[in-house]
Amino acid sequence: MQLSEQEIVRREALQKIIDMGINPYPAEAFSVNYTSTEIVENYELSENNFQDVHIAGRLMMKRIMGKASFAELQDAHGKIQLYIARDEICPGEDKSLYNDLFKKLLDIGDIIGVKGHAFVTKTGQTSIHVEELKLLSKSLKPLPIVKEKDGEVYDAFTDPELRYRQRYVDLIVNPEVRKVFEMRSKLTNAMRSFMTDSGYLEVETPVLQPIYGGAAARPFTTHHNTLDQKFYLRIANELYLKRLIVGGFDGVFEFAKDFRNEGMSRFHNPEFTMMELYVAYKDIYWMMDYFEEMVEYVAQAVSGSTEIQVGENLINFKRPWKRYTMYGAIKEFTGEDVSTLDEAGMRAVAKKLHVPIEENMGRGKLIDEIFGEKVESLLIQPTFITDYPIEMSPLAKKHRSEEGLVERFEVICNGKELCNAFSELNDPIDQRERFEKQIELGKRGDEEAMVLDEDFLNALEYGMPPTAGIGVGIDRLAMIMLNQNSIQDVLFFPQMRNV
């Protein structure tokens, strides 16, 4: 292991600390009774409160001034100034705790615990007057602390790839990043509360599946040694949740980690979070209203408003949202009426519109490509796209009044899909025929075609009530709600190529 000069110095300091008889990684707990934010926001000189403070965190700055020094401590909530006087933390003859440990051997990034009382400095800054100081964990690597000189910032930890690879460092030195993930948690908690209050049950379904299904995607494969059987990481949890509807639950939902062995971009990560909800005796028209209401509620819970600034766009989640049919949206934004075209006609339109396509694409895939290339990016405000061609939706119920269509909707917002919803197909004979058509597409080379799941068909044959289902891309929704430009910015640890 090659060490930098600073790392060598820190390891030498570590040994000196040990030689002083101080354990640099003590086992006993340090009892914390306040956070930095609580003290800074609530200290009142007139009330003389916060006079017995126990606080711990990372040393982010120290300024030595002879027998007294100032330092900055950062905990999970913010930062607070420390005032450290040699004769107070070392009341006896031995001043080594201050002269040697604090002045010479403690480094930026070390984790310390202090006890003392709050006060206000002459410059008006709320601080902690330290009476006891304890080293809780010695840091052996220097932090990339932001510095300023002549009005210019340098040494900032801003390289995106390095930030994603070392998220732990990113969270230390860029506190605003921590806020993003706190707000993401607030988002999912708001969704969970909304559905739970509706009477729906949160469940868990298998990540390892003997047959992958519920979406058009390439799976990751693995091998179970004991069963001597191939398994797949789930691409969706849809078919298992529907089994639970068959079993008698009126409404179930799951926040699921799904895995798709596909491309990566600022909108795609091979491991991502989906929330899927299935409600018996409902249809997509009910689900459209329910989803609108839920997202409006979530926006208010996360940001306090239905309006959220996303880059240059001001997104408004206030109901009602605009609605187009799939064919209607294509005609509106391209001028092309594709509603009656066969596969050859679709290919001709794609060529006319300069949409890249492949030979193995069927009619449904061609429509999807045209919509994705020519329409999707133009839909900034949340917009429902409804009435999809049957070729695109092997798990959706046939449209009740329009031949060749299914009862399906997606919501597009800021140019990207947020969710996918169906009046779920509950006719087992029709479902088998749809699966068999997917098998034919797979034989033509479509690696994302669905496979036939006999156990799921068996469940349908016992009878599944009319059901509305929806899958919501939590990472995409978080990108919009939190005004983040890349999916990697809302994932703690996105997948990265080995270096």
Q: Which residue has the tokens 């707990």?
A: 29
Q: Is the pLDDT of residue 363 over 60?
A: yes
Q: Which of the residue ranges 113-117, 209-213, 366-370, 392-396 would you say has the lowest mean pLDDT?
A: 392-396
CA distance 102 to 100: 6
Number of neighbouring beta carbons within 10 Å of residue 258: 23
Q: Are 79 and 59 in contact (CB under 8 A)?
A: no
- What pLDDT shows up at residue 362? 86
- Written as six digits, the tokens of 263 are 């491309």
- What pLDDT shows up at residue 216? 81
- What pLDDT shows up at residue 327? 94
pLDDT digits (tens, 9 = 90+) for 284-319: 999 999 999 999 999 999 999 999 999 999 999 999
* Cβ neighbours of residue 1 closer than 8 Å, sequence gap 6 or more: none
Dihedral sign from CA coordinates of 278, 279, 285, 287: negative
The fold adopted by the segment(s) 5-143 is OB fold (Dihydrolipoamide Acetyltransferase, E2P) (2.40.50)
- Written as six digits, the tokens of 186 are 């607030």
Residue among 271, 288, 362 nearest 322 (CA)? 288
* Model confidence pTM above 0.85: yes
The fold adopted by the segment(s) 175-321+381-490 is BirA Bifunctional Protein; domain 2 (3.30.930)
For the chain, domain boundaries: 5-143, 175-321+381-490
Alpha-carbon distances, residue 110 vs 103, 107, 169, 451 (angstroms): 13, 6, 13, 54
- What pLDDT shows up at residue 40? 96
pLDDT digits (tens, 9 = 90+) for 228-246: 999 999 999 999 999 999 9
- What pLDDT shows up at residue 96? 87
Q: Which residue has the tokens 């990113």?
A: 170
